[in-house]
Structure 1
Amino acid sequence: MTSSDAPLKTPKTAAHSYDAIVIGAGHNGLAAAAKLGRSGRRVLVLEAANAPGGAARGREFAPGFRSAGLAHLVNRLDPEVARDLGIALAATPGPAMPTAVLDGEREPAVLRGAYGETIDGVTADEAAAFSRLRDKLVFQAGVLKRFLRRPPPQLGAIGIGDISTLMAAGFGIIRKGRAEGRDFLRMLLMNVADVADEYLDDDRLKGLLAFDATLGIHLGPRSPTSLLGLYYRLTGEVDGKAGGQFIPEGGMAAVAPAFLKAAETAGVTIRCGARVGRILADRGRAGGVVLADGSELTAPVVVSAIHPQATFLQLVDAAETGTGFLRSIRHVRSAGNVAKLDLALERMPNFSGLPGRDHAGRIVIARSMTHVENAFNPAKYGEFSPDPVMEIVLPSLADSTLAPDGACTLSALVQYAPYKLKAGWETGKPAFLKIVIDILERHAPGIGATVVAANLSTPTDIETEYNLPGGHWHHGELQADQLLINRPTGTASGYATPIEGLYLASAGAHPGGGISGLAGWNAARHILAGGSR
């Protein structure tokens, strides 16, 4: 029986009243709470887990070894959100964090600066070609970025702010000239493979673009619209440099405390170990929540910073929304496609051809566009690839508390790992783990002998641990039909929902996933502006 079917328990304690209740203490929930708290509202954040942070919450996965959570680097923290909320995350090794692309045959291609301002290991002509493509993609991503810091425009209710944003985007394109404008319209919905083939010859660089465009998305590089994923990554910036990425000083374990501090500084109350059993709603109006222990908390505003499907299919009475809306929520595509591997190692590995200093950066195993496409193909049929692609970092190099002295942790995002594995993950996980370890061994000889413990989180594990339906990192596919006015659905795309006073603020809302804080911050600004649809 789902929580929406369960009878309402008699409250064990007297009701407590707040101006706003936020469900979920992930970074978006904390960003929303901090923004609301800074306006003078009395805000309560409720978190089911025993610690805040959501998917950025760390845990011990082997004695003496810790993982900092699902994400292992920051590439989309919005600078305006950080400034407004007072979130300070110093970059190390800075926006120049290197990205090494390995193919196992040649020396690595190493991108330096913000997404390859310079490149080692390729010809001068290829570096120049990548620079031209990079500049074009950064410009085009910048056009789309204008729409991320505000609610998506509502059809039939276009406001002055929407018109201003559209005009600014148009002028930005016009200033670049007619040819650039045509190229933007031509490329917008193209696949990343065709675009890369137009500019590049080096398979490693093509493989990197393909990997970055499709990470976390159920698309291959030759799938239509796959270039959108690369735009999405390039909307991030570090120190004003588009495409920059970094691991904060103190490691990824510093992310959740930074957002927590912002909320606490704003006067927000945070309660962990407080699972919400039901969102109170009467005749289409939210009025608070009932906790799993029966306690009732009231507020005229409820902000759900958890997955939209968890919100409406688990916490809201179906009679309050209607069958049409629930059908659209059920059909949000949210089947995860990425596995997270954490390794406890006796010592730091040595990746072939990679200088020691570059081990502190991002390491991508994606030999070519074809490699990424072939890795995707089995996922279409509920199978994992015998030759997956992956992104690797060594988190303990930035945060020595993650491993004992002399030891090391390795974190890898492995693509593709379908949520609905035909053979089932109970039997599939050991086989997939062996494949991944074997690939690591080919690129870092001897690493297998140093493994103290391995923890592979499949999409089903992610679903269970973080209450993410489908185990999808972004709370729903980042594809054209689930972005902007359609995120998560057309009737709940502007943070407001069919229930008055209930708002969405997770990655399942606009503009989507990544550690940006924008979904929560935007939702709070929308509420403070009146909160209407």
Structure 2
Amino acid sequence: MTSYDAIVIGGGHNGLVTAVTLAKAGRKVLLLEAGNDLGGAARTEEFAPGFHVSSIAHLLNRLHPDVVKTLELEKHGLRITPDDFAPSVALSMDGPSLVLHGAYGEMLTGASSSEQSAWKQLRAQLLRYAGVLEPFLSRRPPDLAGMWLLETAALGQTALALKRLGKEDMRDFLRVLLMNVADLLDEQLADIRLKGLLAFDATLGSHLGPRSPTSLLGLYYRLAGEVGGAAGAQIVPKGGMGAVIAAIRASAEKAGVNVRTSAPVARIIVEKGRAVGIALDNGEVLRARTIVSATNPATTLLDLVGPRELDTGFVRKVNNIRMKGDVAKLHLALDRPPQFTGVDAAGHRGRLVIAPSPDHVERAFNPSKYGAFSPEPVMEITLPSLADPSLAPDGACVLSAVVQYAPYALKEGWGAGKAKFLEAIMAQLEAYAPGIGKTVRHTELLTPADIETRYRMPGGHWHHGELQADQMLISRPVSGWSGYDTPLDGLFLAGAGSHPGGGVSGAPGLNAARRIIAMKG
């Protein structure tokens, strides 16, 4: 048996961040990844000969600045400048597109002057209000029963941010906090293309429609993140998301983290209510003072630990975490770059969104409530090989699309429904980029069921659990256990199922490591 100070289970970006942070604090750390490569759903993979694409996450929009600083990622090859910020393009079938430029719409083009003015005011308001929530998202959520110093500081910062809003803004912040996004957009904007784009962004990755209560929180969550020092900014990383993972891995190597791939964990060893080690599938036993799991919380607690080691009430809470995914991922290998109607060359290098109006997004959502998909799905499209030609053969192009409202529990089953869903997606693409279908060399469509199998994500949910009001902050992953601790001494959670949730931020991993260090774990 080999002993370590800490063993981290899961080699996605959060597991890597945790491992590096602990190693830099002087811990002897072993990182175990079940697959044959690191990065999880943020890898760059070859899906057809010569065609490479970001596996699930394909945009970088919330890599936490504390992660960049702590891991010294810029020294390890990460390069982000304002020139890299990708525009957001609201596609139109029969006219010019509408474009948000810079860091989430610092400039708006393709709309009337009155709409530009209205958007400027709304954007400023959204960023102010997201700033109120930001201190919570970047730290361990407050333990209301026994707060420690940093938690008290976060609450104090939030109170100060609220005070700085002023009386009128504070009232409005409290009024709109739990609103649905469609109502807020109807109050302040007129252009359905802009409203459709914002409604899509607010609900992306969640089982919510624009008119679902609390859906506005999704937009705040997006804008509370930042990249390159700018809130709401997003980039299509050169080399795909794997380039980001490569920088984090280089930091891990520099810090002395021992990394093992193709090392699936069979169980977490518990002795007298304390996690003391792990057993691999091959029977090898490894011991450590601290065990950290950056995998799904249900997998960790119900499969690797087992219900017999846990309180019945706690097990019930874990079983009730909603984590059925509602998003599919499409990869297309194309003979040549497509031409989307009304989009210039710069727009094609950004994110292209098919969400013509909030009502269209709502109609696309409705069937998913009953285990079906819309014949007109909404989606976010990138063409990463335009920014990095190495991702595709000469003259060819990669298309990567996140397609919203693909229910995990499809009523007819994905065996029967997958081809029909792909047909609906391709029909949408053809409507906005005429002729694209004739250029397709290879297609890969990953349904939530496929994502579950390939990336070991129960339910195929990229957040490892719905990111909604009742599963955020002090209720993530479950109420009473939101601070990365678990009922077992020595066992901590550090994945997207923990606060503050998914996206390539590294915040759950960093916050968990800081908690362990503070407890001298």
| TM-score range normalised by the length of the shorter chain | over 0.9
Of 69, 75, 78, 2:55 maps to: 69
Instruction: Tell me the secondary structure at the aligned position of residue 47 of structure 2.
Output: strand
Q: How far is the alpha carbon of 1:531 from its aligned partner?
A: 6.5
Aligned to 2:102: 113
Aligned to 1:59: 45
Q: 5+ unaligned residues in a row in structure 2: which ranges? A: none
CA separation in 2, counterparts of 1:375 and 1:114?
A: 27
Letter of the structure 2 residue corresponding to residue 74 of structure 1:
L
Do residues 171 (structure 1) and 160 (structure 2) align?
yes
CA separation in 2, counterparts of 1:247 and 1:450?
A: 23
Instruction: Tell me the secondary structure at the aligned position of residue 303 of structure 2.
Output: helix
Instruction: Tell me the secondary structure at the aligned position of residue 411 of structure 2.
Output: coil
Query: Could you give the per-residue CA deviations for residues 253-300 of structure 1, whole angstroms, max 9, x where no partner exists?
Result: 201111111111111000000000000111210001000000000001
Letter of the structure 1 residue corresponding to residue 271 of structure 2:
D
Percent identical: 57
Of 26, 31, 37, 1:45 maps to: 31
Alignment of 1:121-200 (within 5 A): 121-200=110-189
CA separation in 1, counterparts of 2:73 and 2:467?
A: 26
Q: How far is the alpha carbon of 1:95 from its aligned partner?
A: 5.4
8 Å contact 1:92–1:248 — kept in the other structure? no
CA separation in 2, counterparts of 1:336 and 1:94?
A: 33
8 Å contact 1:95–1:238 — kept in the other structure? no
Of 265, 271, 296, 1:282 maps to: 271
Aligned to 1:432: 421
8 Å contact 1:94–1:246 — kept in the other structure? no
Aligned to 2:454: 465
Aligned to 2:488: 499
Of 203, 213, 229, 2:192 maps to: 203
Query: Could you give the per-residue CA deviations for residues 196-235 of structure 1, whole angstroms, max 9, x where no partner exists?
Result: 0111000001001110000010000000000000001101
8 Å contact 1:95–1:239 — kept in the other structure? no
Letter of the structure 2 residue corresponding to residue 320 of structure 1:
E
CA separation in 2, counterparts of 1:503 and 1:253?
A: 26
Letter of the structure 2 residue corresponding to residue 169 of structure 1:
T
CA separation in 1, counterparts of 2:467 and 2:135?
A: 17
Aligned to 1:10: none
8 Å contact 1:204–1:367 — kept in the other structure? yes
CA separation in 2, counterparts of 1:40 and 1:402?
A: 38
CA separation in 2, counterparts of 1:217 and 1:376?
A: 10
Q: How far is the alpha carbon of 1:92 from its aligned partner?
A: 6.6
User: CA 1:92 to 1:445, structure 2 compared with 1: closer, same or farther past 3 Å?
Assistant: farther
Letter of the structure 2 residue corresponding to residue 327 of structure 1:
R
Of 465, 469, 481, 2:470 maps to: 481
CA separation in 2, counterparts of 1:111 and 1:511?
A: 26
CA separation in 2, counterparts of 1:94 and 1:481?
A: 38
Of 402, 406, 412, 1:417 maps to: 406
8 Å contact 2:90–2:97 — kept in the other structure? yes
8 Å contact 2:97–2:342 — kept in the other structure? yes
CA separation in 1, counterparts of 2:239 and 2:445?
A: 24
Query: Could you give the per-residue CA deviations for residues 129-168 of structure 1, whole angstroms, max 9, x where no partner exists?
Result: 0111110011111110111222111121123322222222
Instruction: Tell me the secondary structure at the aligned position of residue 385 of structure 2.
Output: helix
Do residues 21 (structure 1) and 26 (structure 2) align?
no
Query: Could you give the per-residue CA deviations for residues 408-467 of structure 1, whole angstroms, max 9, x where no partner exists?
Result: 100000011000000000110000001111111111111100000110000000000011
CA separation in 1, counterparts of 2:193 and 2:439?
A: 28
Letter of the structure 2 residue corresponding to residue 59 of structure 1:
E
Letter of the structure 2 residue corresponding to residue 47 of structure 1:
E
CA separation in 1, counterparts of 2:83 and 2:415?
A: 40
CA separation in 1, counterparts of 2:94 and 2:357?
A: 12
Q: How far is the alpha carbon of 1:173 from its aligned partner?
A: 1.8
Aligned to 1:216: 205
CA separation in 2, counterparts of 1:393 and 1:466?
A: 21
Aligned to 2:436: 447
Q: How far is the alpha carbon of 1:323 from its aligned partner?
A: 1.9
* Bigger shift: residues 274-283 or 395-404: 395-404
Letter of the structure 1 residue corresponding to residue 236 of structure 2:
I
8 Å contact 1:475–1:507 — kept in the other structure? yes
Q: How far is the alpha carbon of 1:48 from its aligned partner?
A: 0.3
Q: How far is the alpha carbon of 1:53 from its aligned partner?
A: 0.7
8 Å contact 1:90–1:249 — kept in the other structure? no
Aligned to 1:5: none
Provide the aligned length of Structure 1 versus Structure 2: 518
Instruction: Tell me the secondary structure at the aligned position of residue 136 of structure 2.
Output: coil
8 Å contact 1:81–1:518 — kept in the other structure? yes
Of 302, 305, 313, 1:313 maps to: 302
Q: How far is the alpha carbon of 1:105 from its aligned partner?
A: 2.3
TM-score, length basis structure 1: 0.95
CA separation in 1, counterparts of 2:271 and 2:308?
A: 10
Instruction: Tell me the secondary structure at the aligned position of residue 26 of structure 2.
Output: coil
Instruction: Tell me the secondary structure at the aligned position of residue 490 of structure 1.
Output: coil
CA separation in 2, counterparts of 1:265 and 1:436?
A: 44
Aligned to 2:79: 90
CA separation in 2, counterparts of 1:528 and 1:95?
A: 35
Q: 5+ unaligned residues in a row in structure 1: which ranges? A: 1-14
Quote the RMSD (CA, aligned, Å): 1.2
CA separation in 1, counterparts of 2:79 and 2:187?
A: 37
CA separation in 1, counterparts of 2:299 and 2:274?
A: 19
Letter of the structure 2 residue corresponding to residue 317 of structure 1:
G
